[in-house]
């Protein structure tokens, strides 16, 4: 992989890593449902402009599939992420959302898209242990609202992971840009009732609106366009490395910009989650080390 694509992946991960932090800024003021819906609306507008510029047609004949994808990949996860951000520190949220990789592996195995191996099962157990360690022993006191928020966040990650095999099958019938724009558009429709419910209590403060604008236009709209351009030039596994880098950036931004506390237990829990996802994805660090030693011999 060329160096320029690696640095583009790092930049993309830095953008995506800021998503949970920005959601934590927007959700308390606007309400979690309205904040998530506005984000998806702005993303839809941005993706629509990209499609118009590239003369890409809308895949209207796949509307039923797009509704399912909009629910599983966009509306469900982001609504739950926004709700969990009311109690869950941004650093915690960034670490817990990466567990979507584990749920995706199980969903793919059930749908015969992937084989479930012993390392992947071990990785799933390590991921759950890491999440428990993160909530129970982290720098924030493990109150009942915090635990509920962590479970809510992981539920969003589970829904997002379950969408993986459905997205993989959809790619055979639609272009990736068509899928993304279509499922964001249907997600907006699905999120309207929740947004209307939050509207009377919403406080349209400038910092909350700015956070929503960045998440919608940049981290959901432009960032996905950037990701699609990178995918043309790098292997799929290289592109997936952004999943792990974005988690690290999420914790970094939360500590640097929101002054969230950190500690040894948080680092240990995060390390277990990342190791778990590496194993689930079939990326065995121990195997890499053994292969390196064998090559030297």
DSSP string, 104-170: HHHHHHHTTSS---HHHHHHHHHHHHHHHHHHHHSSS---HHHHHHHHHHHHHHHHHHHHHHHHHHH
Q: Which residues contact 55 (CB under 8 A, 6 or more apart)?
A: none
Residue 58 phi/psi, 5-degree rounding, is -80, 140
Nearest to 35 by CA among 45, 17, 22, 46: 22
Lowest mean pLDDT among 7-11, 135-139, 293-297: 293-297
Is there a contact between 240 and 105 (Cβ–Cβ < 8 Å)?
Answer: no
Q: How many CB atoms lie within 10 A of CB 276?
A: 25
What are 7-63's pLDDT values in tens digits? 777 787 788 778 878 888 898 999 999 999 999 999 999 999 999 999 999 998 999
What are 59-103's pLDDT values in tens digits? 989 999 999 999 998 899 889 988 888 888 766 776 777 777 777
Q: Which residues contact 158 (CB under 8 A, 6 or more apart)?
A: 99, 100, 103
Q: What is the pLDDT of residue 236?
A: 45
What are 207-260's pLDDT values in tens digits? 999 999 999 998 888 887 777 677 666 654 455 556 666 666 766 677 777 676
Nearest to 246 by CA among 40, 21, 2: 21
The residue behind tokens 């195995």 is 109
pTM value > 0.95: no
Nearest to 158 by CA among 131, 197, 193: 131
């Amino acid at each position: 992989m060329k160096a320029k694509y690696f640095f583009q992946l790092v930049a993309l991960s830095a953008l995506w890593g800021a998503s949970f932090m920005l959601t934590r800024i927007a959700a308390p003021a606007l309400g979690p449902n309205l904040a998530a819906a506005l984000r998806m609306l702005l993303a839809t507008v941005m993706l629509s402009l990209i499609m118009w510029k590239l003369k890409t047609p809308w895949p209207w004949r796949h509307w039923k599939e797009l509704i399912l994808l909009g629910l599983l990949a966009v509306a469900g996860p982001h609504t739950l992420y926004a709700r969990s951000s009311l109690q869950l520190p941004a650093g915690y949220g960034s670490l817990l959302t990466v567990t979507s990789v584990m749920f995706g592996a199980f969903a793919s195995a059930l749908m015969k898209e992937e084989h479930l191996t012993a390392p992947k099962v071990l990785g799933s157990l390590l991921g759950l242990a890491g999440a428990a360690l993160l909530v129970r022993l982290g720098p924030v006191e493990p109150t009942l609202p915090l635990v509920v928020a962590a479970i809510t966040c992981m539920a969003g990650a589970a829904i997002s992971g379950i969408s993986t095999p459905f997205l993989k099958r959809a790619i055979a019938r639609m272009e990736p840009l068509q899928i993304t724009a279509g499922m964001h558009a249907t997600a907006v429709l699905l999120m309207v009732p929740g947004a209307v419910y939050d509207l009377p209590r919403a406080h349209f403060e400038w910092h909350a609106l700015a956070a929503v604008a960045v998440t919608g236009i940049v981290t959901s709209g432009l960032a996905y366009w950037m990701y699609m351009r990178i995918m043309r030039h790098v292997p799929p596994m290289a592109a997936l490395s952004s999943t792990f880098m974005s988690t690290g950036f999420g914790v970094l931004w939360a500590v640097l910009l929101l002054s969230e506390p950190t500690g040894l237990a948080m680092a240990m829990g995060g390390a277990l989650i990342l190791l778990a996802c590496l194993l689930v994805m079939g990326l065995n660090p121990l195997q890499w080390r053994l292969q390196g030693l064998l090559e030297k011999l």
